Amino acid sequence: MVDAELCDRVISCGSRGSHVLPRLIRLDAAVTGRHAAWMNLLLLRNAQVYAPEPLGLQHLLLGGGCILWMGAQLADLPAALSVETIDLQGRRLIPGLIDAHVHATGGGGEAGFRTRVPPQGISRFTRAGITTVVGLLGTDDVARGPRDLLATVYALREEGLSALAFTGGYHVPPQTLTGSVRGDLVFIEALIGIGEVAISDHRSSQPTLDELMRLAADAHVAGLMTGKAGVLHLHLGDGLRGLDLVRQALEKSELPPRVFHPTHVNRRKGLFDEALALTAGGCTIDLTAFPVEEGEDAWSAADALLRYLDSGAHAERITVSSDAGGCLPTFDANGHVCKMGVGESGALLDTLNEVVARGVPLERALPSFTQNPARLLRLAAKGYIGVGADADLVALDSAGAAHDVIARGVVHVRDGRIKHHGMFEDAST
């Protein structure tokens, strides 16, 4: 149900007075927001539910952005409820993926201003089965800042995604909105942790142990005060110091290991071994689903996840993220960029499918993309399928692609086709 008055409003873009016609955009983005979710009841029939644990064939009633009911037997519903029905015909239904490392504003900037990556629209996430993102800043936390990041996160929310952010960026002292990272986390609802703070990287500000411990303490205390994640999300570079600072911080302070969430730990095989050892002490580590070339001293996210699951380590202490929107530069020995790529949201679902294709049951592979990040980030209604959970759901086709995607009870992808594009996305793509 779309407010007719809202639909009738249009804005014009383009250069007035030139020969280029202005592009008219319907201002109907609100259809994807709270209004539609609260007004409509949606019945999903015949879903093969992986919650992540397999629950067999189920029917689900969605309303108010949540899962209201789920059961194997479906009674007739009163016609007066005017429930929209989608028959999933036995497709696998999984929780919406949670991507805890997204350059929502676009990252980059390492090789000049032209290498700043533009922001990506909501459909780049939804078509990839991602319904929750955590935005962050990386190398460029000067030309970009927390205001820009928060505005981008709030825009994604208006378009129907669940979106949060970390405060700060690569560098120390971190960029903040309120003057302190603790203040940002305590007073700004969408900010849930600090990151990505760079260590063991030539682009970092080479933080000392004391500086790192102070940041981790601020994240931890703000987490206690607010019930938010309160994590220090750490970018790991290629440097051979690896996770040494984290090990020292854990040895020399009272900080709980859960506060440290190192990412990109599969970028070097030795680093992955260090990270694996850290999980025994209580840290959760994050794999990045970036492309890995033949012969490279790195594990792909799929390789690393398989190794992790086979190692007997705590299954809940690993997450996978995409680095979407971040640039993926290759540096030469002098620190010059010689090649550039961009992280893609689709890499998460590709990784999940690869791990399943290599013999891991879906219910064992799924938690790293759903339940585990939800637990670490303290998102109580996310990461699982059950009554009371947010209605963030992905129906997979037989090839593992996102056939239907529902975010907060609103259908964003149906039969593999995007139903809601972002305000400035080209709907023909």
Nearest distance, CB of residue 168 and Zn ion, angstroms: 12
Name the residue nearer to Zn ion (CB basis): 144 or 235: 235
Nearest distance, CB of residue 196 and Zn ion, angstroms: 5
**DSSP code, position 103:** -
- Decide if 28 is catalytic: no
Given CA atoms 149, 152, 157, 158 in this order, what sign does their dihedral have? positive
Nearest distance, CB of residue 264 and Zn ion, angstroms: 6
**DSSP code, position 324:** B
Q: Strand pairing partners for 131? A: none
Give me the long-range contacts of 419-422 (CB less than 8 A, separation at least 24).
Answer: 420/29, 420/31, 420/32, 420/122, 420/123, 420/126, 420/159, 420/160, 421/121, 421/122, 421/123, 422/29, 422/121, 422/122, 422/123, 422/155, 422/159
- The amino acid at residue 232 is L
Which residue is at the shortest CB distance from Zn ion?
235
Instruction: Render the burial of 98-112: b for 16+ CB within 10 Å, e for the rest.
Output: bbbbbbbbbbbbbbe
Name the residue nearer to Zn ion (CB basis): 290 or 384: 290
Nearest distance, CB of residue 274 and Zn ion, angstroms: 17
Nearest distance, CB of residue 327 and Zn ion, angstroms: 10
Nearest distance, CB of residue 195 and Zn ion, angstroms: 9
Name the residue nearer to Zn ion (CB basis): 196 or 404: 196
Q: Quote the strand ranges of 118-209, DSSP E.
A: 130-135, 162-167, 191-199
361 CB neighbour count, 10 Å cutoff: 12
**DSSP code, position 340:** E
Name the residue nearer to Zn ion (CB basis): 110 or 196: 196
Which H helix or E strand runs over 140? none
Name the residue nearer to Zn ion (CB basis): 278 or 395: 278
If we measure between CA atoms, which residue out of 173, 290, 195 comes closest to residue 238? Answer: 290
Nearest distance, CB of residue 173 and Zn ion, angstroms: 19
Name the residue nearer to Zn ion (CB basis): 103 or 420: 103
Which H helix or E strand runs over 55? strand 54-63
Q: What are the residues binding Zn ion (CB under 5 A)?
A: 196, 235
Rounded CA separation 97/371 (Å): 9
Name the residue nearer to Zn ion (CB basis): 235 or 268: 235
Catalytic residue among 99, 141, 218, 323: 323
Alpha-carbon Rg for the chain, nearest whole angstrom, is 22
Positions annotated as catalytic residues are: 323
